[in-house]
Structure 1
Amino acid sequence: MKIGQQLNIVVYACAALTLVTLLITVELFQKQSQTQVRLDRIVAVHSQIDSLRGRLWLYRQYPSAQTRQDVYQSTNALRAQLSSDQHAIPPQSVQSMTQAADSIDRLLDTTTDQFGREQSVDEGRLMLFSRFNILLQAMSEAAFSVRQQAMHDASKQQKMLLVVHGGILVLLALLVTIFATRLRRRLRQRLKTLHSTVTQIKKGDLTTELIMTDKDELTELADHVNEMKHALSHTMVDKNQLSEEVARQTQQLREQQHQLKFLAEHDELTGLFNRRAFESHVDVALMRANRAQTNAALLFIDLNNFKQVNDTYGHGVGDELLRVVSQRLKHAVRRSDLVGRLGGDEFIVWLDLLTDKDALNEVIRRIQDDVHAPILTEKAELSLVSSIGVSCFPTDGLELQQMMNQADAAMYYAKTHANERHCLYSNLPAERIQ
Structure 2
Amino acid sequence: MVNSINGKLILLLCVSFIFTLLLSFSFLQIHSAQHKTTDALRFFSGLQQNIDDLRSQLWLFAQRQDSASYTQVKLSHQTLALKLEKQSFYTQRIFNLKKLTDDMASLISQEQRLSIQSNRLSEQQINQARQLLRYRYNILIENMSEEVAYLNKKTLDSNELSITSVMLYSALGLIFAAMFVLAINFSIYQRFKIGFGRIKLGIHELSKGELTHKINSENLDTEFRMLASFFNNMTSKLDASMVSKQALQQEVDRQTSELERQKQQLLILSEKDHLTGIMNRRALEKAIDSILLNAKISQSKVALFFLDIDDFKNINDSIGHDAGDEVLQQVSSRLQACTRKSDIVGRLGGDEFVICLGLVDNFDQIAHKAQTILDSLSTPIRINHSELSINISMGVSYFPFQANTRDSLIKQADEFMYKAKQIKGSGCFYGQELLAHVDLLDAAQLNK
TM-score (norm. length: structure 2):
0.48
